[in-house]
């Protein structure tokens, strides 16, 4: 566990994960967990009549996998405060491999003087380098010295 205080976060690129291939099992398990059995995800025959011609992974599946891929490091001085500006840019299909890239884009004050907000941009791309998902992860991070 690497302890990083608010003051120590630097704006700029942080990390790029290894790839993770989305499988049919991922889609079936996610549908069962969420109750989202829409034909866009589950019905190959119906999808063949639609513009994308094949099943699409749930946006929430892609989001949760992409976020999970970035969670290798635990910072006991920070925790997730939520996500903003989440967008599903392109569909992800069975067999696509996604990669997550994070960068710190902003640091700002929080109402608690002992903490600050760090904004981490998440860009998710497929095996072709196309952006499939973007969002901002807000972290609430303890300060070394509270603001007075």
Give the Å distances, CA to CA, from 122 to 33, 83, 101, 137. 24, 10, 6, 7
Please tell me the predicted confidence (pLDDT) of residue 74: 84
Render pLDDT for 80-123 as a digit per residue (tens, 0 to 9).
999 999 999 999 999 999 999 999 999 999 999 999 999 999 99
Render pLDDT for 17-35 as a digit per residue (tens, 0 to 9).
999 999 999 999 999 999 9
Render pLDDT for 52-62 as a digit per residue (tens, 0 to 9).
999 999 999 99
Please compute, for residue 33, the number of CA atoms within 13 A of its CA located in the half-sphere on the CB side: 10
Q: Is the pLDDT of residue 49 over 80?
A: yes
Which CATH number characterizes residue 112's domain?
3.10.129.10
Is 111 a domain residue? yes
DSSP 10-76: -SEEEEEPPPEE--HHHHHHHHHHH----HHHH-HHHHTTSTT-S-B--HHHHHHHHHHHTTT---T
Please tell me the predicted confidence (pLDDT) of residue 1: 67
pTM, two decimal places: 0.93
Residue with tokens 């991922």: 26
Is 68 a domain residue? yes
Is 1 a domain residue? no
- When divided into structural domains, the chain yields a total of 1
Give the Å distances, CA to CA, from 133 to 53, 89, 122. 20, 5, 8
Is 99 a domain residue? yes
Question: Domain limits at 92?
Answer: 6-22+57-142
Render pLDDT for 69-83 as a digit per residue (tens, 0 to 9).
998 888 999 999 999
> Which residues make Cβ contacts (< 8 Å) with residue 25, sequence separation at least 6?
none
Is 42 a domain residue? no
Residue bearing the bigger pLDDT, 145 or 67: 67
């Amino acid at each position: 566990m690497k302890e990083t205080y608010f003051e120590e976060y630097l704006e700029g690129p942080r990390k790029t994960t290894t790839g993770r291939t989305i499988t049919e099992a991922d889609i079936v398990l996610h549908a069962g967990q969420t109750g989202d059995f829409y034909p866009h995800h589950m019905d190959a025959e119906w999808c063949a009549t639609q513009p994308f011609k094949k099943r699409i992974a749930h946006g929430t599946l892609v989001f949760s996998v992409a976020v999970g891929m970035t969670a290798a490091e635990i910072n006991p001085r920070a925790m997730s405060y939520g996500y903003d500006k989440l967008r599903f840019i392109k569909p992800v299909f069975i067999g696509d491999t996604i990669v997550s890239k994070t960068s710190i884009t902003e640091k700002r004050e929080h109402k608690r003087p002992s903490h600050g907000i760090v904004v981490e941009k998440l860009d998710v791309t497929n095996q072709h380098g196309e952006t499939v998902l973007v969002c901002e992860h807000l972290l609430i991070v303890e300060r070394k010295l509270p603001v007075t």
